[in-house]
Amino acid sequence: MDLVRLLAIARKEWIQLRRDTRSMILAFVLPLFLLLFFGYAITWDVNDIPVAVLDQDRTRESRELVEALVASGYFTVVEHLESAAEVDDRLVTGSVQGVLTIPPGYSSDLAAPGRAAELQLLLDGSDANTATIALNYADAIVTRHGVRVALAGRRAQPAIGLESRTWYNPNLESRHMIVPGLIAVIMSIIAAMLTALTIAREWERGTMEQLAATPVSRLEVVLGKLLPYLGIGLFDVAVTVAAGLVIFGTPLNGSVVLLALLTLLFLTGALGLGMFISAAVKSQVLATQIAMVATYLPAVLLSGFMFDIASMPAVLRVVTYLIPARYYVTVTRGIFLKGVGASVLWPQATLMFLYAVIGLALATRAFKKELLA
């Protein structure tokens, strides 16, 4: 392999890329736009859940319970109902996601020793995720409020006390988990789409004849075309990481050098995959469509970014091992949130190295310099 020829191919590809406005936008604008868009749009935090309250007890104790609910920040009381006949209407119209009913005698049951004070919380289960989270929030708030009332009445300490600590994301902010995963998903899509245009562009523009006449080998062509996009990919990752730190406040607890090295492995494989698609189909439109289908859906659905892999059916769990984004999502979240090093991430590094080798091998094998008559 000749270094001079390799750099000449890389320079040629960079000149072609600079002249293509759409590719430049795809390379330098789209990754940051997608990070900002999805970073704000995707969230698993549930706050300000609108609820209505039917307080049939109307005592100081019932008002304290409602105040505890609002003070948590998870619930917002948007309406106080006058009768039980209004409950069904509010849930059907969707004006609230839940209705808390405090029955008559709540305060007396609360004060009576050995008697449980009952409440009713009706939730709109059409959005099962929000309903489940709201139920857990309400249960924790009511339990904590009940303990506080009991302690105030008995002037005693509880027999058992539990203090919980959350590591790596102590505020439980979903954005801190979403942003590192987004970087992996976005770069897997952008990298494959960028190189999906490279060889197909040569065929459609009629410049493959000139390339075929040169003494460069197939591997030199593939690596030469890969180099500019590898630089662009590293630049995009640096920009999105900086945006995650500055705009979303995502912590970066691990090694930047390790992140860069593992990113290099991942990008090499993703770019090789795009180049393989480009060489195989020889059409920019078709290559772009195949690259999108081959990267976007698997990266979003099967990488562990949106859904927990452990909860998937056994067949899909096996399929996820074929998705490179799965390993890079683990890498970004591990380095960002946990600050783990190579001693923990070496399995992901090994698999991404194999992915890079296979991607380059497929691209080199699929690329043909010979022109068909």
pLDDT per residue, tens digit, the chain (373 aa), is 778 878 888 888 888 888 878 778 888 888 989 899 888 888 777 788 899 999 998 888 889 889 988 888 889 999 999 888 888 888 888 889 999 999 898 888 777 776 777 888 999 888 777 888 888 888 888 888 777 776 666 544 555 555 667 788 777 778 888 899 999 999 988 888 888 877 777 777 766 666 666 777 778 888 888 899 999 999 999 999 999 999 999 999 999 999 999 999 999 999 988 888 888 887 878 888 888 888 888 888 899 888 888 888 999 999 999 999 999 999 999 999 999 999 999 999 999 999 999 988 988 888 776 554 4
Q: Which two tokens stand for residue 330?
A: 């683990």
End-to-end Cα, the chain, rounded Å: 28
User: Which pLDDT does position 189 carry in this prediction?
Assistant: 87
Q: CA 320, CA 111: separation in Å to the nearest integer?
A: 55
Other C-beta atoms lying within 10 Å of the C-beta of residue 208:
19
Other C-beta atoms lying within 10 Å of the C-beta of residue 247:
15
Long-range contacts of 230-234 (CB under 8 A, 24+ apart): 230/264, 230/267, 230/268, 230/271, 232/27, 232/28, 232/194, 233/187, 233/190, 233/191, 233/194, 233/263, 233/267, 233/270, 233/271, 234/260, 234/263, 234/264, 234/267
User: Which pLDDT does position 44 carry in this prediction?
Assistant: 75
Q: CA 373, CA 366: separation in Å to the nearest integer?
A: 18
Angle at 144 between CA 141 and CA 145, to 5 degrees: 85
356 by DSSP, 3-state: which? helix
Q: CA 357, CA 347: separation in Å to the nearest integer?
A: 16
Helices 174-195/284-301 angle, 10° precision: 160
**What is the pLDDT of the chain when averaged over all its residues?**
84
Q: Residue 83: what are its φ and ψ, rounded to 5°?
A: -150, 160
How much is the pTM? 0.79
What are 59-99's pLDDT values in tens digits? 888 898 899 888 888 899 999 998 888 888 888 888 899 99
Please, which residues bridge with residue 120 across strands?
Answer: 101
- Nearby residues of 325 by Cβ (< 8 Å), 6 or more positions away: 184, 185, 188, 295, 298, 299, 302, 303, 305
What are 200-209's pLDDT values in tens digits? 777 777 666 6
Q: CA 168, CA 149: separation in Å to the nearest integer?
A: 33
Please spell the DSSP secondary structure of 93-153, one letter per residue.
Answer: HTS-SEEEEE-TTHHHHHHSTT-PPP-EEEE-TTSHHHHHHHHHHHHHHHHHHHHHHHHHH
For 153-208, what is the HEC assignment? HHCCCCCCCCCCCCCCCCCCCHHHHHHHHHHHHHHHHHHHHHHCCHHHHHHHHCCH
Chain centroid to Cα 247, Å, comes to 16
Level-2 CATH architecture, domain 49-154: 3-Layer(aba) Sandwich (3.40)
What are 278-323's pLDDT values in tens digits? 888 878 788 888 888 888 888 888 998 888 888 889 999 999 999 9
Delimiting residues of CATH 3.40.1710.10 domain(s) in the chain: 49-154
